[in-house]
Amino acid sequence: MNFLFALAAAALFGTGAYLLLSRDLVRMVIGVVVVSQAAVLTLMASAIVRGVAAIYPLPGEPISDPLSQAMALTAIVIGMAVTALLLALVLRVTLAFRSRALDELADSEAERDLRLERRHASTQDSEEAAAR
């Protein structure tokens, strides 16, 4: 049981990490969601392996710790809020850059940096010329 939970959490984390590294922003958000599920599963597994869920305890049977179920609920709610925020952010970025692929985002960033650098160099040159 313990091993199964560990395996499932590890698989979720791995899948999430793989999705996070992809270039599509929506896939990245899904990756974050999957990683959060790995954390929630670990939270639940930290108590459930000790007995059955505490919703209807029978005498003589071990029951699991309900506290970690409560924590898992909180974590799910927080995860949902963060996911909503991330999606809103992705929407804004998509509208601003007209693209949701990360490499295009990086390209436009690099372009802007190059422009900035050129402007700096030209002001420096003109200043040096003025000083002479």
The Cα 86–Cα 88 span in angstroms is 5
Q: Binding to another protein by residue 12, rule CB under 8 A?
A: no
Among 8, 30, 32, 101, binds another protein (CB under 8 A): 32
- For residue 50, the surrounding DSSP H or E stretch is none
Q: Which of residues 45-104 bind another protein (CB under 8 A)?
A: 45-47, 65, 67-68, 71, 74-75, 78-79, 81-82, 85-86, 89-90, 92-93, 96-97
Closest CB 34 distance from another protein, rounded Å = 10
24 SS3 class? strand
Q: Cβ of 40: how many Cβ atoms within 10 Å?
A: 19
Quote helix, strand, coil % in the chain, to nearest 5.
80, 5, 15
Q: Which residue has the tokens 């791995």?
A: 14
Give residues in contact with another protein (CB under 8 A).
13, 20, 25, 28, 32, 35-36, 38-39, 42-43, 45-47, 65, 67-68, 71, 74-75, 78-79, 81-82, 85-86, 89-90, 92-93, 96-97, 105, 108-109, 112, 120, 127
